[in-house]
A and B are shown apart, each in its own frame.
Chain A
Amino acid sequence: MADIKKLNESIILGDLDTSVQITKEALAEKTDPQEIIQEYMIPAMDVIGGKFERNEVFVPELLMAARAMKGSLELLRPLLAECGIEPQGRVIIGTVKGDLHDIGKNLVASMLEGSGFEVENMGVDVPSDKIVAAVQSNKIDIIALSALLTTTMPSMKDVIEALKEAGLREKVKVIIGGPAVTQEYCDQIGADGYSENANGAVGLARKLLAS
């Protein structure tokens, strides 16, 4: 009998091997993949995310948990696809043009992936037209933009303007983040939301897709 309650704990502890093991056992016993995700995995990410926001844990613990979560999700995803269940949402993420910093952006990508989103990481120094092209050719729900530097934050506005010009602005939500990004800046450039940290980005993405 798979000790599925331990799946929650193993994700919180960032124990990839145990998480994958329990997931395999649970699947062998024909447990509903949706139930595994909703009842045990997502709540685990919520717990570790809350600890992160309260500074009880830091980036390493968050990354480990996201990795354990991702390991289990990889086993479950094909089964979900078979039943026609879509991912939580499709996200493209990148650091904007002129900015080569990718740590914060990769952290947000890991958290979104670990929380059930399908994420395409477009890398750093991503020009607006590449983002527009990605939205034109794929079904994208959310664009997540990162900028570390105050001097590259205006590139976020450029992306939003380029989306408007291409007539795509209403089709996608745009979320932004970076150390100097504020709610005020988000409002100013007309983005749909901003998060102060990687965990907040998950809540924000969920909220925007539910609205």
Chain B
Amino acid sequence: MRTNGIQELLKSRSLLFCDGAWGTIFQSAGLKPGESAELWNRDYREKVLEVAQSYVRLGVDMIETNSFRGNGITLAGIGAEKDAAELNRLAAEISREAAGDKCLVLGSVGPAGKILMMGDVSENEMYDSFAEQVHALEQGGADAICIETMFALDEAELAVKAAVENTNLEIICTFTFAKTMGGDYKTVMGVSPAQMAEKMLNAGASIIGTNCGYGMEAMIPIVKAFRDYDSNIPLLVQPNAGIPKIEDGETVFPETPDEMAGQVPGLINAGASIIGGCCGTTPEHIRAIMTQANL
């Protein structure tokens, strides 16, 4: 039997909350450019646990795991591909420890960092790397798999398929869309929310959505596009705190907790089911979003 914890929660509540960013918080805590945040699961377990706990304390319904770039193909970039299974299992164990039975744990799976049609990796290699990752996340105690920040249908389909065939977990899939000159939203590969929804639901995802992107307000039309395609499917939305800028050599995400919270009614009206945050968001952002939604 496949788990369905999120769908169960949505039977009694119309809106759930997810955590915010991890990677950008690690950067503030000393993660250097080019360093793998996933290695921290082994080397700085306490720091990772601290971030997880900071979100659990807010009373969110689900937190993710520190495994976004934990795919074996991605880890090969730093020569750590052999550690992929261990790092993903540890990621899930840390989030599980923080979450206890207070909230669900979503095993984070980001893109492999290669485009299939460029021929740098084969479909089999990509499938195997996702299969290894999702299996390890399940072993570490994840309640669901969250395949996120995807942009290519072929890659995301392989990831969803790997999760269907190698775990018994509920599967979420989110894509990152940008506004085109025509005014609609598509990924860099030209995929619309409707095309994504159709393919990912067919592949076996039961929750879909959008993350990263161009700030909170830009998520509203994307959520509407999903809702035009399907009025019932649970939708996860995790915006960035705006588009990052460099000020005095520091990376700054411009949207404040209050600014993000201000867009919550619009997101709810558009049809979001689960709201969280992506790059640049902090526990303060998530707290402000939850307070606004519960008004």
Contact = CB atoms under 8 A, between A and B. Distances in A.
Interface string A144-160: 00000111111100000
B188 A185 contact: no
A59 interface: yes
Interface in B155-195: 180-182, 186-190
Nearest to A125: B34
A100 B186 CA distance: 25
Contacts of A209: none
B246 A152 contact: no
How big is the B interface, by class?
20 to 34
Given A98-B32, A101-B113, A124-B77, A106 B251 contact: no
B190 A103 contact: no
A63 B245 contact: no
Interface in B85-122: 113-115, 117-118, 120
Contact of A100 (B78, B118, B120, B180): B78
B17 to A, nearest CB: 27
A97 to B, nearest CB: 7
Contacts of A110: 118
Contact of A55 (B27, B77, B113, B180): B180
A128 B77 CA distance: 18
Contact of B117 (A60, A124, A151): A60
A54 interface: yes
Contacts of A101: 113
B113 A100 contact: yes
Interface residue SS majority, chain A: loop
A57 B249 contact: no
B113 A149 contact: no
A24 B187 CA distance: 36
Interface in A148-196: 149-155, 180, 185
B59 interface: no
A187 to B, nearest CB: 13
A141 interface: no
B244 A60 contact: no
A100 B71 CA distance: 13
Nearest to A151: B33
A106 B249 CA distance: 27
A55 B251 contact: no
Interface of B: 27, 32-34, 74, 77-78, 113-115, 117-118, 120, 180-182, 186-190, 243-246, 249, 251
Interface of A: 54-55, 57-61, 63-64, 97-103, 106, 110, 124-125, 149-155, 180, 185
Given A98-B32, A150-B244, A151-B251, 7 more contacts: A59-B190, A100-B34, A150-B246, A154-B249, A180-B245, A180-B246, A185-B246
